[in-house]
Chains A and B, each alone.
Chain A
Amino acid sequence: MKKILLLLFVLVSFTVFSCLVILTPMDTLYLLNWGEYIDPDLLEEFGKLYNCQVIEETVTSSETMYQKITEKNTPYDVAIPGDYVITQLYNEGLLRKIDVDNIKYPVLNEYQTIFTDSLKDLTNTYMVDSSNKPFDTYYMPYFWGAYSIIYSTQKSDVENVVLNNGFEALYNRSLYNESVKIGMYDTARWVVASYLLAQNKNPNITDYNNNINDDLSSELVNNCKDALLNVNFDEFGNDSLKRNVALGSLDMCYTQLGDFFDVLFLKYDQDNGAENINFNVSVPSNTAAFFDGMVIPTTTKNYDLANKFIEFMLEPTHAYQNANAIGYCPTLKSVCDMYHEDALAGEYYYEGETEAKSLTLTDFLDKYPMYLDPLYNSTNAYLLEPKSANYLLTCEQIYIVVSSIDN
């Protein structure tokens, strides 16, 4: 009897397994993305719509994304790297042209026109090939933002200094009347960029004559090292920085705009609404912007599905849903319009138990205009350009000088 039961069990298991295999969608889309950077409901919806499965692999840096694409071990169909890695991939011939459906999505084929104006200006300046020709049909901006300072509003001194001095507020402790705790991002290249921005300079230059060479000049390297030693940042981190400013254990930090909106929503969500938000964000007038863009790497084995995925994500309702879920600044004009329409309709950014704990979308957009236009306050905005391995290593060697500080 036991043997019959066992045989029956094996047969049933085999049948169930076979059914599962048969029912498994034929097409697979390999997506290379950052962690928590897409609404999972949208992935599910896309899978149902095109009877396919989406396998998402996440990484923590654009460089890792580049490494994974160049290794060619996985047939990634869509990747969402940062701007300068897109340029690098394009220059190395590792991207395929995006080809969206002319009939179904006519507006998407006008590429540039669908994006917000200030982002369009930036991409026209920076996303060009060696003959200054834009290669905008090879990428689709996904989310964007600007380098900013998240600061605590509990010390009035801090707010004044940050608003009046921009990034210099991070490097000049003498501007404050009291002791302040400053956090810096732990990415070596960002450290160097922040130092140059603090001096109102272009973050891409490699020497004080504003040249852009293969590597940083020794004068700039030494000055940057000295600045790091002098300011002696209280913390180097990444995701921890925004949380610590929100908690009050740091007074300010250098970070990306999206980090602020992430921690802002988290604060509302965790406290079931918030009456007092003790932190704010400032995008200085001299800053660097960034965007992440959807690209189709040459590793793709499902080119049509990859294009369909990009079309799907650029569909305004989907892009709006995604921006709401992720909290980063949207790139599409249509999505910005939808935010304004919803604000007029009296929608909430966060609807808490009481009115005092809630924030209407109108108040949110008034208070944080940089959400729909990260560069609303900027007179000089740059994109970080692709840099040589030597440059990146020199940045790393600048950063390790912090190990010489006796803590």
Chain B
Amino acid sequence: MNRFKGFAIPYFIWLIVLAFLPIVVMIAFTFLSMNGSSLEGASFSFEAYNRLIDPSIAKLIWNSLIVAFWTVFFCVLIGYPCAYFVSFSKLKNKLLILLLLILPMWSNSMLRIVSWLRLFTSKYFVGFNLAGSMEAVIFVSVTTYLPFMIFPIYTILEKLDRGLIEASNDLGVPKFKTFLKVTLPLSISGVYSGIIMVFLPAATGFAISQTIGLGKIRLIGNLLQSVFEKNNYNFGSLISVLVSLVITLVILLFSKFNKEKKPC
């Protein structure tokens, strides 16, 4: 295997250049008071850190986590049964069903978001006051990110050794118990991948909250977008680092939970 080690070098370079170095630069920017991203005339400053005490920022992070949590929750609730029934169905063309599931994704996501808004503000739904509400933001997030949950679960279920399920059934274990004791534990890694794939964009996105939330539902992504648009790399970097830390923390907690729950 040692002779293949060389092949890993480009990936390390890739990681250093596109992941490690930008993080270092971002951290350095948080301590610098500067004009845009230019280092000319930059000076050492804790200005950005002083602004962190504003409770609104904690509220934005909290809002983001709430939206991401409920999006993930509903995506698992809808996505798992979808993937399960497609995978275990006797349909000849499962791929076609999956293609139908992702059909809306063939159109631009912004177009879909605006279409939802038009629907919510149409005369049929306007009485429900959906536009501008947290519920509507979560609903559109779920419709947007659902395919990212279905696909990893479906892939794992397709690879699952069906002989194990048959063995469980042959031993007289009821179907539901077989699902709980065999299928679910063996497919849970697909659920974890799906959760990470849905959680990250749901927590950091800004287009859905901006459009569906009518600008009233503000997430941390909205703040990031406007801060960088105003050329403020100092505070923008600090918020970016903070968001990365919070998300890393959530994922670490999640993987710890994942390890503890793994079947022996």
| Complex Cα spacing A343 to B37, Å | 51
Contact B59 A396 (CB under 8 A): no
Are A64 and B229 interface neighbours, CB within 8 A? Answer: yes
- Which residues does chain A contribute within 8 Å of B59, judged by CB atoms? 400, 403-404
Residue numbers of A with Cβ under 8 A of B are: 61, 63-64, 66-67, 70-71, 184, 186, 188, 233-237, 240, 244, 249, 389-390, 392-393, 396-397, 399-405, 407
Taking CB atoms, residues of chain A closer than 8 Å to B229 are 61, 63-64
Question: A91 → chain B, closest Cβ, in Å?
Answer: 12
Indicate which residue in B51, B121, B214, B222 contacts A393 across the interface (CB closer than 8 Å).
B51
Interface of B toward A, CB cutoff 8 Å: 35-38, 47, 51, 54-57, 59-60, 63, 121, 126, 132-134, 210, 213-219, 222-223, 226-227, 229-232, 234-235
CB neighbours (8 Å) of A184 from chain B are 215
Looking at the complex, which one of A67, A70, A235, A396 makes contact with B223 (CB distance below 8 Å)? A396
Task: Name the A residues within 8 Å of B37 (CB-CB).
Answer: 71
Across the two chains, which residue of chain A brings its CB closest to B47? A390
Residues in B whose Cβ lies below 8 Å from that of A390: 47
| Pairwise interchain contact B230-A400, C-beta atoms closer than 8 A | no
Closest residue of chain B to A92, judged by CB?
A: B35
Q: Is the CB of A186 within 8 A of B121?
A: no
19 A-B pairs with CB atoms under 8 Å apart are A66-B231, A70-B36, A235-B214, A235-B215, A236-B214, A236-B215, A389-B35, A389-B234, A393-B235, A396-B230, A397-B54, A397-B57, A399-B226, A400-B57, A403-B60, A403-B63, A403-B216, A403-B217, A407-B132
CB <8 Å contact, B215 and A186: yes
Q: Closest residue to A188 on the B side, CB-wise?
A: B226
Closest chain A residue to B37, Cβ basis: A71
CB of B226 within 8 A of CB of A67, answer no
Q: How far apart are the CA atoms of A391 and B37 in the complex, in Å?
A: 18
Contact B132 A403 (CB under 8 A): no
| Contact between chains at B232 and A392 (CB < 8 Å) | yes
Given known contacts A249-B121, A389-B230, A396-B227, is B134 in contact with A407 (CB within 8 Å)?
yes
Q: A234 contacts which chain B residues (CB < 8 A)?
A: 132, 214
Is there an interface contact between A403 and B218, defined as CB atoms closer than 8 Å?
yes
Q: Return the chain B residue nearest A64 by Cβ.
A: B229
